[in-house]
């Protein structure tokens, strides 16, 4: 029995270029894309469904409640749309945007 090597080629059109491509618009993917864009990177977020949020929205799973550690992007979203729903027991920094590492650009 011999081992064969098969090489396949396909021409794939390039529609856009970016510094960061995030695949999946789940809560983590959305937060990663927002963070990359805020860091100055040209960012593309790819999501195959018609909406962001992963199973929390597509599966109608209400896992995000105003208890516990409500920080980061989630706190910003809640603060923007439902400020009265922010838990007072956990003061956050909804507008603090610190990005110590910017987007690293390749030298051409």
Distance CA 66, CA 63 (A): 10
Distances 54 to 49, 60, 73 between C-alpha atoms, Å: 9, 9, 15
- The distance from CA 41 to its chain's CA centroid, rounded to whole angstroms, is 13
Number of domains present in the structure of the chain: 2
Same domain for 24 and 50, yes or no, is: yes
DSSP secondary-structure letter at 45?
A: E
pLDDT one-digit tens code per residue, 35-51: 999 999 999 999 998 88
pTM listed for this prediction: 0.65
Q: Does residue 17 surpass a pLDDT of 90?
A: yes
Which tokens belong to 104? Answer: 């690293």
Domain that holds residue 29: 18-62
Same domain for 58 and 69, yes or no, is: no
Q: Is residue 13 part of a domain?
A: no
């Amino acid at each position: 029995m011999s081992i064969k090597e098969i090489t396949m080629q396909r021409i794939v059109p390039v529609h856009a270029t970016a510094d960061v491509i995030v695949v999946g618009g789940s809560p983590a993917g959305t937060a990663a894309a927002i963070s990359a864009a805020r860091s100055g990177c040209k960012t593309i977020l790819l999501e195959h469904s018609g909406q962001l949020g992963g199973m929390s929205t597509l599966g109608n799973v209400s896992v995000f409640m105003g208890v516990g550690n409500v920080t980061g992007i989630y706190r910003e979203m809640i603060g923007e749309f439902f400020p009265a729903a922010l838990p007072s027991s956990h003061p956050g920094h909804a507008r603090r945007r610190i990005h110590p590492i910017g987007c690293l650009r390749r030298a051409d």
